[in-house]
Amino acid sequence: MKKKPPLKKGQQNKPLVNQASGKERMPVPQSKRNVNLPFYLLFGFVLVLYGNSIFNKYALDDRLLITENAFTKKGFSGIKDILTTDSFVGFFGKQKNLVAGGRYRPLSHITFAIEYGILKDFNAGIGHLINILLYALACLLVYKVLTMVFPPGKTPFYLTFAFIATVLFIAHPLHVEDVANVKGRDEIMGILGSFGTFYFILKYIQQSRPINLLWAVLVFFLGLMSKEDVVTFIAVIPLTLYYFTKAKPKEILISTGCLLGVTIFFIAIRASVLGFLLNSNIDFELLNNPFLGASAAQKFATILLTWGKYLLLLIFPHPLTHDYYPKQIPIINFNDVRAIIPLLIYSSMIIYALWRFKKKEIITYSILFFGLTFSISSNLIFPIGTFMNDRFMFTPLLGFCMVLAYLATVKFKVWFGEEKLRTAIFIFIGIILLGYSVKTISRNPTWHDDYTLFTTDVKVSTNSAKCNVSAGGQTMELAEKELDPAKKKEMLNTALNFLKRGVAIHPKYGVGWFLLGKVMIDLENYSKAREYNDSALVINPGDKKALNNWIYSTQMSVKNKDYNEAILSYTQLSQLQPTNTDYIIDIADVYENKNQIDSAISVLNRLLTKNPNNVAALNKIGEIYGKHLNDINRSIEFLLKAYSISPSDASLLQNIGVAYGILKKFDKSIEFFKKALAVSPDNSSMYMNLASTYKGMGDDKKAAEYSARAADLQKQNK
């Protein structure tokens, strides 16, 4: 093996750790085997914890960026679109201002497009495997940086601050959302960028080699392109350098200045792509703007409530859920103890960190690390579109893990002494790791697919409109594939209960009302389907799916001879869309089916009074006069008037042909049937009408010819 060239003067490895306080010791040379062993163990630990997530499918937001994203489906050719648009444009087809900051995280999105480009299809197993490997790499990088900042000295690696903090970080169940969900790759790549930058800055401080600073700049840019909250390391890195290294102020300023320059460059790119820096014209839907309608005081009090919940989940991560949407988190006021206690805790932490700042203690550093990395996702700086999520703790929880590691490696020495230190650490960390690991491994399968995720988490997020509606929608989809009628009905009723709860929580949830209408169609309760689809259209007037379902349920009411329901339904549809006169014709059809001919004619006459040239109404009323009242002359009068307006309407031409046939004006009848046939050449009933007409004329040969043609078309259409 070739030896590396010696460093030039001024590039020697300088002591990295600040020894002035005597708190840390310089690293002692170790064998290569000992140096690498912790990396192997940590890597294996990640595989043990997350290996079962490989069997998961795509879930939750994976459809936004992967399975239903047009740019991802382009593969390599979609990379340009990904780089030049909001992250969700490929899904929605246009930019939607759902949150204040927009979404521009192209790097992880590009990896999805590359996967698709190589595999020529989606493969959830590969996506999960890549996430696991990237997570393992990120955790190894965290460990490496921590060993550079907190050297192990002669202490066995498994008892060191860096190893304990990292192993706790790896095991913590709050990471499941990002590792076990393919879309969570943005968080993983973000921390790779953060700690990759951290590593090269430390190398720069240690060696004074500009190349390390260049690498730091590049990696930091890639991190920002993965997740915006990487920007917090502009503060975290100089804080760390000040606290724990012998870096000169000039070196700290240079490295921080470079990162600041990269950030400005990234922000300029981001603003150019999105068209704004921070968009104030955000979506006014409760599910995208959970503080909608809350006062400033209520908003801050509720934010404090979520901060308190984060602390509880850091300490005891159970139960877990992916969903904290309204109204799983209630809007509260400052007279609520759930806001007061977190305010006191966080205020105390901040005061303590500032008071002890100059002491450069690990405990104050951990508090500041947590606060800085959490700031972007805290809802305090700007709204992030939801109350809280496990994934927002991805990097900040390292601060919590460092506190636990500090207790084990520093405080335990004081409390238990050197003799009992190892036993105390093993018991304390062992119990925590066992609990975390069991929870992580058992939580992974929850992300197997949407059905499993929603129906599991709805037991925790009982007051979330979104989770209830999602659980209902997934249960309904599964029920539609069920062949056993009894099981299918049971599943549909389960879906119905979820959906009803969802819209009760959020009455303006249009998707919930639409799905309720769909379930009612499956349960053959068409009057309820009408009510629910009506509600969906009141909220979203342009919802074509809800309108089509309403029309279908009305048609099924007619088929089931529930004529009163059908008339009511068509009447409401005509009121909803007053310019659509087809619904009035449909009402006349229903009256005709009820054999209430006078009512049918009355409805049509009212329509013709408003618009005498309505072809469909003239055709229908002409048909009724001929078919039910045997007034062929009046029938032909209406039909010919319609014909003068619309000479290419096949149904109208056929009705005229029938009317002339009844009058035994066969030449006229054949003339109009052939015109109808020219418009609709594959209509078998046209050929049957011609066959009947020729038979009436005594031309059996022609009658047989057209009859045979009608039979052929009927066979083709089967």
How much is the pLDDT for 23? 44
How much is the pLDDT for 521? 96
Among 164-178, 368-382, 488-502, 690-704, whose mean pLDDT is lowest?
A: 690-704
How much is the pLDDT for 421? 85
What the block records as the tokens of 396 is 């900040």
What the block records as the tokens of 135 is 């997570």
How much is the pLDDT for 265? 96
- How far apart CA 616 and CA 649 sit, in angstroms, is 9
How much is the pLDDT for 699? 84
List own/partner pairs for 469-473 with CB under 8 A and 24 or more apart: 469/498, 469/499, 469/502, 469/503, 469/509, 469/511, 469/512, 469/515, 470/323, 471/495, 471/498, 472/496, 472/497, 472/498, 472/499, 472/502, 472/512, 472/515, 472/519, 473/499, 473/511, 473/515
The model's confidence at residue 14, banded by pLDDT at 50, 70 and 90, is: low
For the cut 60, the answer to whether the pLDDT of residue 31 exceeds it is no
Q: Which residues contact 315 (CB under 8 A, 6 or more apart)?
A: 400
- How far apart CA 163 and CA 303 sit, in angstroms, is 33
Segment 669-681 mean pLDDT: 88
Task: Give Rg (Cα) of the chain.
Answer: 35
For the cut 80, the answer to whether the pLDDT of residue 144 exceeds it is yes
Contact criterion met (CB below 8 Å) for 215 and 200: yes
The model's confidence at residue 279, banded by pLDDT at 50, 70 and 90, is: low
| pLDDT more than 90, % of the chain | 76
pLDDT digits (tens, 9 = 90+) for 552-608: 999 999 999 999 999 999 999 999 999 999 999 999 999 999 999 999 999 999 999
Facing residues of 436 across strands?
none
How much is the pLDDT for 283? 59
The model's confidence at residue 385, banded by pLDDT at 50, 70 and 90, is: confident
CA angle 710, 715, 718 (to 5 degrees): 125
Distances (CA, A) of 259 to 11, 226, 292, 371, 657: 22, 16, 36, 20, 83
The model's confidence at residue 55, banded by pLDDT at 50, 70 and 90, is: very high
For the cut 50, the answer to whether the pLDDT of residue 16 exceeds it is yes
- How far apart CA 473 and CA 487 sit, in angstroms, is 16
For the cut 60, the answer to whether the pLDDT of residue 338 exceeds it is yes
Contact criterion met (CB below 8 Å) for 176 and 320: yes
Contact criterion met (CB below 8 Å) for 567 and 591: yes
pLDDT digits (tens, 9 = 90+) for 297-329: 999 999 999 999 999 999 999 999 999 999 999
Segment 112-138 mean pLDDT: 96
How much is the pLDDT for 263? 96
Distances (CA, A) of 375 to 13, 38, 174, 261, 385: 34, 32, 18, 21, 15
pLDDT digits (tens, 9 = 90+) for 457-500: 999 999 999 999 999 999 999 999 999 999 999 999 999 999 99
Segment 667-685 mean pLDDT: 88
For the cut 80, the answer to whether the pLDDT of residue 514 exceeds it is yes
- Phi first, then psi: give them for residue 629, nearest 5 degrees: -105, -5
For the cut 80, the answer to whether the pLDDT of residue 34 exceeds it is no
- Find the largest Cα–Cα distance for the chain: 119
CATH class of 464-580: mainly alpha
| pLDDT more than 70, % of the chain | 93
- Phi first, then psi: give them for residue 639, nearest 5 degrees: -65, -40
With CA atoms as reference, report the closest residue to 300 among 375, 379, 385, 386: 379
- How far apart CA 227 and CA 205 sit, in angstroms, is 26
With CA atoms as reference, report the closest residue to 586 among 598, 568, 608: 568
How much is the pLDDT for 550? 95
Q: Which residues of 165-192 are buried (b: 16+ CB within 10 A; e: fewer)?
A: bbbbbbbbbbbbbbbbbbbbbbbbbbbb
How much is the pLDDT for 101? 62
For the cut 90, the answer to whether the pLDDT of residue 163 exceeds it is yes
With CA atoms as reference, report the closest residue to 314 among 431, 430, 402, 393: 393
For the cut 50, the answer to whether the pLDDT of residue 24 exceeds it is no
The model's confidence at residue 17, banded by pLDDT at 50, 70 and 90, is: low
Domain ranges for the chain, please list them: 296-407, 464-580
Greater model confidence, 42 or 664:
42
Type of residue numbered 24:
E
How much is the pLDDT for 230? 96
Average pLDDT, the chain: 91
User: What pTM was estimated for this model as a whole?
Assistant: 0.87
How much is the pLDDT for 26? 39
Distance of CA 265 to the CA centre of its chain: 29
For the cut 60, the answer to whether the pLDDT of residue 29 exceeds it is no
Among 8-22, 87-101, 160-174, 386-400, whose mean pLDDT is lowest?
A: 8-22
- Phi first, then psi: give them for residue 205, nearest 5 degrees: -65, -40
CA angle 96, 98, 100 (to 5 degrees): 115
The model's confidence at residue 21, banded by pLDDT at 50, 70 and 90, is: very low
How much is the pLDDT for 285? 79
The C-alpha torsion from 189 through 195 and 196 to 197, rounded to 10°, is 120
Read off the DSSP letter of residue 64: I
- How far apart CA 690 and CA 399 sit, in angstroms, is 86
For the cut 60, the answer to whether the pLDDT of residue 27 exceeds it is no
Type of residue numbered 601:
I
The model's confidence at residue 718, banded by pLDDT at 50, 70 and 90, is: low
